[in-house]
Amino acid sequence: MFDYLIVGAGFAGAVCAERLAARGKSVVLCDRRPHVAGNAYDHYDDAGILVHQYGPHIFHTDGRRIFDYLSRFTAWRPYEHHVLAHVDGQRLPFPINIDTVNRLYGLSLDENSIGQFFAEHAENIGHPKTSEDAVVGKIGRDLYEKFFRNYTKKQWGLDPSELDASVAARVPARMNHDDRYFTDQFQVMPARGYTRMFENMLDHPNIWLVLGVDGETLRRDVRHRQMIYTGPIDDFFEHRFGPLPYRSLEFRFETHDMSKFQPGAVVNYPNEQAYTRCTEFKYLTGQRHPKTTVVYEYPQAEGDPYYPVPRPRNAELYRKYKALADATPNVHFVGRLATYRYYNMDQVVAQALGLVAQLEGIDAQAA
């Protein structure tokens, strides 16, 4: 009899497995994929280049506790992420900053005048409800049309006016020359990759890892006291209230016989192409190699569930599943898919650590 069956070996499942095993619990951890690390999985491709199979993953956090916890399983490589957006024939710094505006419109604004520029162009929205409101209310309609509208339509299959403000609000507008994508205190990449970090995390005698097997099979066949589930919550309840929408992606990888393909880690294509962005992995990983591999991301309605879609009607449907989850004894739901939240890796780690602390509290009360 195992203390825990954990379904899904991404950040949510692996962090729970590691913490519970370290506290003496026996854990069976499974994933239907043939590998650990969930969507953060990386591996060496045929050319010998370290690539992220499910799209570029850049680690950033303001949480020292999260950073310290993961540091037990990996050394880090300092890495600050930079993105260019291909707009009106130029590759411009993104998020939008003073240089983006100056190069786009041929201006010479500085830190004293950029605020005025945004204020003159911003529309009076009040409290932003949608992603359109969030951008237009901050920097105005022209920048919205050029950088946000079409990218968002491609990425989500929805107009920004149909998505929660929180989606576009992930990207700030800068009143300075800072061209980093993130401003978090800790911006690093696992020195030997995410998969290696997960392998270290899960290397524990109390963890029995089963790959390439669906959780439902183990749920039937393996005796366990409690279950932690990190897959899509609507799957768990056999879509009783109808399917929750997720956005998917198709990844097209290309290896080029040159050491460098594009001028930065990521180039976004808001307007022209069917893909949203092109990522060149060597910038992220620091790998030296005579060849280089890039990936193009093509958003899809069908396929592996990657993104919960933040909009009011989906939140309402999720609440129904959440009520069922709350009423299901001995099963705990955690992670991006099981709690239907557009979470970054560090947020999922925090959520998983929080769940384990809660479970310990329950154990302590029972003792």
Closest approach, Cβ 202 to ligand FAD, in A, equals: 13
Closer Cβ to ligand FAD, 109 or 158, answer by number:
158
Closest approach, Cβ 170 to ligand UDP, in A, equals: 4
Phi, psi at residue 323, to the nearest 5°? -65, -40
Closer Cβ to ligand UDP, 85 or 325, answer by number:
85
Site for ligand UDP, residues 301 to 320, rule: CB under 6 A: none
The DSSP-derived string for 349-361 is HHHHHHHHHHHHH
| C-alpha closest to that of 338 among 43, 45, 67, 8 | 8
Closest approach, Cβ 155 to ligand UDP, in A, equals: 5
Cβ(86)–Cβ(166) under 8 Å?
Answer: no
Closer Cβ to ligand FAD, 148 or 229, answer by number:
229
284 binds ligand UDP (CB under 6 A): no
- Of ligand FAD, ligand UDP, none, which one does residue 151 interact with (CB within 5 to 8 Å by kind)? ligand UDP
- Of ligand FAD, ligand UDP, none, which one does residue 33 interact with (CB within 5 to 8 Å by kind)? ligand FAD
Write out the H or E segment, with its range, that includes residue 188: strand 186-190
10 Å Cβ neighbour count for 170? 11
Indicate the SS3 state at residue 312: helix
| C-alpha closest to that of 90 among 76, 101, 78 | 101
Closer Cβ to ligand FAD, 137 or 245, answer by number:
245
- Of ligand UDP, ligand FAD, none, which one does residue 343 interact with (CB within 5 to 8 Å by kind)? ligand FAD
User: Regarding beta strands 292-300 and 246-256, do their DSSP bridges make them parallel or antiparallel, or are they unpaired?
Assistant: antiparallel
Binding site for ligand FAD (CB under 6 A): 7-13, 30-33, 38-40, 54-58, 214-216, 230-231, 249, 306, 335-337, 343-346, 348
In b/e form, how buried is each residue of 61-81, taking b as 16+ CB within 10 angstroms?
bebeebbebbeebbebeebeb
Site for ligand UDP, residues 133 to 192, rule: CB under 6 A: 147-148, 151-152, 155, 167-168, 170-171
Phi, psi at residue 223, to the nearest 5°? -75, 135
Residues of this chain that interact with ligand UDP (CB under 6 A) are 85, 94, 147-148, 151-152, 155, 167-168, 170-171, 268, 270
